[in-house]
Amino acid sequence: MMKKNILFMGRTEDPFSEKILAHLNTLDSNIVAIYADGHGSKLPAEINNWRGEYIFCFRSHFILSEKLLAQASVAAINFHPAPPNYRGTGCVNWALYERTETYGTTAHLMTKKIDSGSILNVRRFPISTSDTLQTVLTKTYEYSVFQAKAVIDSVTLGGPAGVQRLIQQASSECWAGKVRTMSELEALYQIPDTADDAEVARIVRATKIGKWAPFRLRGGKKLYL
């Protein structure tokens, strides 16, 4: 049996991407792995010449052309770090801001439209009032790795039939809501002068993590909380 050709796209210095790659390396396949290091990352030119059976994307900022997606003869799959009702950028941020009680991850086929391809699998988990942006992100990536391993096994063993079987199993799931943009996420970080204490607390919970923090504008300067 000929080895399958797999293109994996992950994120630089991301331990969760490495876990998925490690799983891929257990398969009897030829793996090409590339990593994005931030928004605006450009695909290496030679990747446009890749041909194979599967593309798997996890936390990658690369924008794939229709041509490249079509060069995966069986499936091009993205592991979206959110349930289907949160699409685009900053999904976890918006979920916390909107005080949702459940969150999750979605595996789906990739198309030219963001977060719109056929859904293969959704995994959900509860969010408690004690959860922070950091704890929800960590849970999300852990669930996504678990999901990715299962989906990868199903489609690489089952081929096109395996892909269709997952689509059938997830037939009750559908995309919903608008596709959030980076500019909308950036706007969430600015605390309006009219915000009361409860609103400020919502924004802080939804945005504060590591070096990132919400801010107020005073005299044209950002005052970070």
Q: What pLDDT does 147 receive?
A: 98
52-58 and 4-11 strand pairing? parallel
**Beta-carbon count within 10 A of 198 CB:** 7
Identify whether the C-beta of residue 160 lies closer than 8 Å to the C-beta of residue 167.
no
Q: What pLDDT does 42 receive?
A: 86
Quote the CATH superfamily of domain 4-178: Formyl transferase, N-terminal domain (3.40.50.170)
Q: What is the DSSP string of the chain?
A: -PPEEEEEEEETT-HHHHHHHHHHTTSSEEEEEEEE-STTPPPPGGGGG--EEEEEEES--PPPPHHHHHTEEEEEEEEESS-TTSEES-HHHHHHHTT-SEEEEEEEE--SSTT-SPEEEEEEEE--TT--HHHHHHHHHHHHHHHHHHHHHHHHHHHHHHHHHHHHHTTT----S-EE-HHHHHHHTBPPTT--HHHHHHHHHHH-BTTB--EEEETTEEEE-
Q: How far apart are CA 106 and CA 13, in angstroms?
A: 22
Q: What pLDDT does 38 receive?
A: 78
Q: What pLDDT does 5 receive?
A: 96
Q: How far apart are CA 203 and CA 208, in angstroms?
A: 8
Q: What pLDDT does 37 receive?
A: 87
| Mean pLDDT per 10-residue segment, the chain (225 residues) | 89 95 94 88 89 96 91 97 96 97 98 93 96 97 97 96 97 95 95 94 96 90 88
Domain boundaries, the chain: 4-178, 189-224
